[in-house]
Amino acid sequence: MSADTPLTKDTEPGAGANTAGGELIRLAGVTKRFGTNTVLDDLNFTVDPGKHVTLIGPSGSGKTTILRLLMTLTQPDEGTIAVDGEQLFPAPEKQIREVRKKIGMVFQQFNLFPNMNVLRNITEAPVQVLGMSKDEAEARARELLELVGLADKCDARPTRLSGGQQQRVAIARALAMRPRVLLLDEVTSALDPELVAGVLDLLRDIARSTDITMLCVTHEMGFARDISDQVLMFDGGRVIESGSPEKIFSDPEQDRTREFLGAVL
């Protein structure tokens, strides 16, 4: 991908940014419970613009819940969440809708609209949510499909595509909204093993050649090591250790981190 792709242009530093306070994402004192299960326990962290942060840790430690909170698919019981200097929670409904536009998410199970072709899957939200003209949305969708290597699949239904191709469409769909933050939730977990590398290579390419901020939950430790500026190790709804990938993967401080990495590497 070259430096002058439409993707890069749309994610230039400062594009639509409110740089107050420096960080793009701020979670402060976030607690989330499901019944008596405290899933996130007084969580605090910030992510600076353009950084790639990977969340690792055992299943059930609360990683996906953080992404879902940022997508406003669920709400915290306590604490505040801000994106780009604007409060996402708690906030009035109208503000939540506006802040939410800055965030795109790619899910484990693709979540494409099965009744729409590939092009429409990508243009639907830019037209409906951003008010983009159909022509502009289609032109951008075609550029993004080129970027993800699926320029010839505009008219295909998602069910006709392989899992890897569906995930590429889902990535293009998320980028079509020109988000400042891209949330990736175990995006290769549902793929056949031979399709994993291609999707990870695409994401590496996007991470390298754009300044989009990424928050990534993954069990692909090689990928995490490659793309991350920072790795957060979760256990029991808390960050028990954080640092550079070199530090976390080669010389972790916590026994729990070592034990977890020993089991997955």
69 touching ligand ADP, by CB under 6 A:
no
238 touching ligand ADP, by CB under 6 A:
no
Residue 64 vs 188, nearer CB to ligand ADP: 64
Whether the CB-CB separation of 199 and 38 falls below 8 Å is answered with no
Q: Which stretch binds ligand ADP (CB under 6 A): 31-39, 138-146, 153-161, 195-203?
A: 31-39
Query: Is residue 238 helix, strand or coil?
Result: strand
Residue 207 vs 217, nearer CB to ligand ADP: 217
Cis preceding-peptide flag for 90 (omega within 30 of 0): yes
36 touching ligand ADP, by CB under 6 A:
no
39 touching ligand ADP, by CB under 6 A:
yes
Residue 5 vs 65, nearer CB to ligand ADP: 65
Residue corresponding to tokens 């390419």: 205
What six digits make up the tokens of 171? 């990535």
Q: What are the helix (H) ranges across 33-74? A: 63-70
173 touching ligand ADP, by CB under 6 A:
no
Measure the CA–CA gap between 131 and 128, rounded to whole angstroms.
Answer: 6
Measure the CA–CA gap between 25 and 106, rounded to whole angstroms.
Answer: 18
In the chain, which ranges are E strands? 25-34, 37-47, 52-56, 78-83, 86-89, 103-106, 181-185, 213-217, 230-235, 238-243
Measure the CA–CA gap between 61 and 226, rounded to whole angstroms.
Answer: 23
- The binder of ligand ADP chosen from 11, 23, 25, 63 (CB under 6 A): 63
113 touching ligand ADP, by CB under 6 A:
no
* First and final C-alpha spacing in the chain: 30
Residue 84 vs 234, nearer CB to ligand ADP: 234
Q: Which of the residues 217 through 236 are near ligand ADP (CB under 6 A)?
A: 217
- The binder of ligand ADP chosen from 9, 12, 20, 34 (CB under 6 A): 34
- Shortest Å distance, C-beta 113 to ligand ADP: 23
61 touching ligand ADP, by CB under 6 A:
yes
Binding-site ranges for ligand ADP (CB under 6 A):
34, 37, 39, 57, 59-65, 217
